[in-house]
Structure 1
Amino acid sequence: MNRKLEFSKRLSTALLQAGYKAEAAVLEREFNLRHYGKPMTLHGVNKWLKGESIPPYEKIITLAEWLGVPPDELMFGLGIKQKVEQERKRWDEEIGYQERELFEAFLALPAAQKKVVREVILAFKKAHSQ
């Protein structure tokens, strides 16, 4: 689905959960009370709610602080955060000291040798997947 529409859904949900109506007039008034930069117009915030635009990062921060939602969650949703956490968990659980030692040795290699090692590993992966 469209990133702008997804953002608008998350914004509307955050507004409702914070006890506000998901309406442009409410969003404009409350946002401008809290944001110290250029104020938003009714038309501008309406575009956020309709999924026509996404605010710049400094305005995401103001929204997140006001609505009590982490800015990354407001901007990207929980799906990405959960996916990253699962990948980290996998690395933490599945990689033992021998693999860590191997990665440290790899990182210490010069660039040309890293390239050779990478190509060998990818060749093994390709052969294994066939």
Structure 2
Amino acid sequence: MKKEHDAFAARLHAALKNAGIEPRPVVLEKLLARRGVAVTAQAISGWLHGRYMPKPAAMRALAVVVGLEPYQLQYGGRTEGVRDDHDAWPTRVNGRDRLAFEEFLGLPEAQRELVRGLIAALADGMQRKRR
């Protein structure tokens, strides 16, 4: 059992690094809370150090945060024939950006339009600086 927990901790650390997320319990606690999963920093520390495995709901939320399928995070590797919804994301989009996009899509249309305008204004400002 300890081997499985250690292997999971290693996969979790690698997935967090690939997603550009700090492997700190307080950071993960906040990201999981945004997904509706309440987990203590102490439990998350146990995952990161190979002492415990997350419960299924937390495993699913963690997988979304790091941009993997739950089975990949829990067991490693890829399973042929299983559709990966995250393949549509460009590789430069990290876990925090994916979460921001998902939260954006949950906003009412008026707020989404406001965010689009802000992004357009920021992008326009960057283009002017480059000239």
Structures share fold, TM-score greater than 0.5: yes
Matching residue's letter, 1:66: V
Distance 2:64 2:27 in 1: 16
* 1:43 alignment partner in structure 2: 42
Bigger fraction of residues in helix? 1
* 1:93 alignment partner in structure 2: none
Distance 2:39 2:55 in 1: 12
* 2:4 alignment partner in structure 1: 3
Q: CA deviation at 1:14?
A: 0.8
Q: CA deviation at 1:77?
A: 0.7
* 2:20 alignment partner in structure 1: 19
Distance 1:52 1:46 in 2: 8
Matching residue's letter, 2:7: E
Distance 2:17 2:6 in 1: 17
Q: CA deviation at 1:65?
A: 1.4
Q: CA deviation at 1:68?
A: 0.7
Distance 1:26 1:57 in 2: 20
Query: Between the two proteins, what is the percent identity of the paired residues?
Result: 29
Distance 1:45 1:70 in 2: 19
Matching residue's letter, 2:74: M
Distance 1:56 1:41 in 2: 12
The superposition leaves residues 2-60 of structure 1 with CA deviations (integer Å, 9 ceiling, x where unpaired) of 100110111111111111111112111111121x24x1111011001010000111211
* 2:114 alignment partner in structure 1: none
Q: In angstroms, what is the RMSD of aligned CA positions?
A: 1.6
Once the two structures are superposed, the pairs formed by residues 18-97 of structure 1 within 5 Å of their partners are 18-34=19-35, 36-37=36-37, 39-78=38-77, 81=78
Matching residue's letter, 2:62: L
TM-score of the aligned structures, taking structure 2 as reference length: 0.55
Structure 1's consecutive aligned runs of 4 or more residues displaced over 2 angstroms after TM superposition are none
TM-score of the aligned structures, taking structure 1 as reference length: 0.56
Matching residue's letter, 2:19: A
Give the count of matched residue pairs: 79
